[in-house]
């Protein structure tokens, strides 16, 4: 699990953060944890502006890919795989402005997320999927040295 991948060293196992045993105990005790990571990038204004532009282009490409796959599904009733979506999306201006590897990986992330969505949709149609929704007012904030997470009630 996640606790095995934690690096041993300052901030995790000793010193200024959570004890690794306590963190493992939290992972075993709770059924589900959402972990997030916030990165602070220190750079000059020019580099920051470039990074903002690239992240916006990547976001736009991701949303355009999702839109294309969704429209194809609504019109044809079939899933549009990455290999076919690529030929429809590659003419988009966001795709052209991003470095090719970044654009392809952004499209692959959108494809992976849509495949997961359609898998759950098929399981739900078969009756094999029971969604677990978080209970209201049962969120408990846990702050660690590297992440902020919320505990979801177990049923």
Say which residues have a Cβ less than 8 Å from residue 151's Cβ, sequence separation at least 6: 30, 32, 33, 138, 139, 140, 142
pLDDT at residue number 139? 59
Residue linked to tokens 């919320």: 150
- Residue 53: Cβ within 10 Å count: 12
pLDDT at residue number 2? 46
Assess whether pLDDT exceeds 80 at residue 57: yes
Whole-number mean pLDDT of the chain?
77
Give 35-54 pLDDT, tens digit per residue.
677 778 888 999 999 999 99
Average pLDDT over residues 4-17: 47
pLDDT at residue number 39? 76
Assess whether pLDDT exceeds 70 at residue 148: no
How much is the pTM?
0.62
């Amino acid at each position: 699990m996640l606790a095995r991948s934690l690096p041993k060293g300052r901030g995790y196992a000793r010193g200024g953060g959570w004890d690794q045993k306590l963190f493992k105990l939290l992972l075993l005790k709770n059924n589900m944890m959402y972990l997030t990571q916030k990165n602070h990038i220190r750079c000059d204004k020019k580099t920051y502006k470039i990074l903002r532009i690239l992240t916006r282009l990547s976001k736009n490409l991701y949303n355009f890919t999702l839109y294309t796959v969704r429209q194809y599904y609504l019109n044809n009733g079939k899933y549009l795989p990455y290999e076919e979506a690529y030929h429809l999306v590659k003419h988009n201006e966001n795709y052209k402005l991003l470095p090719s590897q970044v654009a392809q990986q952004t499209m692959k992330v959108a494809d992976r997320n849509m495949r997961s969505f359609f898998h759950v949709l098929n399981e739900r149609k078969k009756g094999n999927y029971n969604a677990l929704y978080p209970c209201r007012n049962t969120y408990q904030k846990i702050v660690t040295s590297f992440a902020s997470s919320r505990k979801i009630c177990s049923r």
